[in-house]
Structure 1
Amino acid sequence: MQFDVQFDPAKNQANIAKHGVSLERAPEMDIRAVLVDERHDYGEVRYRALGFIDGVAHCLVFTDRQGELRAISLRRAHQKEMKRYVSQANG
């Protein structure tokens, strides 16, 4: 499923430096689960999507800004995140 994504170019460069992946790759993600990120008060609702890019598990953090998906971070998913996803998917 392809989708449109917006992001700040400076944030994209920071994401590449930190995580080695461009926010431009977010639309390629085969999303399997979306969770509300309630770990902190960000001043806006943030979501964490878990899915795959080229068969590799990734985590996309994003928000909805006026009906547009605004990418905040894209990185390889941690093993713990994927285990949680698998256990929830299997009931």
Structure 2
Amino acid sequence: MNITYDPQKDLRNQTERGISLSEAANQDWDSWLGAEDVRRDYGEVHYRGYAIMPAENRLYCVVHTYREDAIRIISLRKANSREVVLYEATKQTT
């Protein structure tokens, strides 16, 4: 899987959230659960979802889009407690 991201956004994400966007490649993408983000017009289709980061056994929120043959990471952060509860409940029903 080819993962890309904006280097400037990556530096900002590392400063603000303590994680590099490159870490999205380490997620368990098979555990990804999400949908198209339709909250606003981004000029391209964005997907917002959640996946487990196996090294930490922790849920992360990832926003991405598809560009050519790559997944472009837009945002990556630890999921909050409300998101973890929703993820677990949804996984049990799917």
1:22 equivalent to 2:16? Answer no
Question: Any idea what SS the aligned residue of 1:71 has?
Answer: strand
Q: Calculate the TM-score normalised by the size of structure 1.
A: 0.86
List runs of 5+ in structure 2 lacking aligned partners. none
Identity %: 34
List runs of 5+ in structure 1 lacking aligned partners. none
Greater mean deviation of Cα atoms: 32-41 or 4-13 = 32-41
In structure 1, the residue matched to 2:11 is 13
Conservation of the 8 A alpha-carbon contact between 2:2 and 2:69: no
Aligned partner of 2:90 among 74, 85, 88 = 88
* 1:40 to partner: Cα distance: 1.8
* 1:45 to partner: Cα distance: 0.8
In structure 1, the residue matched to 2:37 is 37
In structure 2, the residue matched to 1:56 is 58
Q: Calculate the TM-score normalised by the size of structure 2.
A: 0.84
Measured on the aligned residues, the alpha-carbon RMSD in Å equals 1.4
In structure 2, the residue matched to 1:47 is 47
Q: Structure 1: how far apart are the matches of 2:87 and 2:14? A: 25
- Which amino acid in the other structure matches residue 36 of structure 1? E
* Count of equivalent residues: 89
Question: Any idea what SS the aligned residue of 2:5 has?
Answer: coil
Question: Any idea what SS the aligned residue of 1:86 has?
Answer: helix
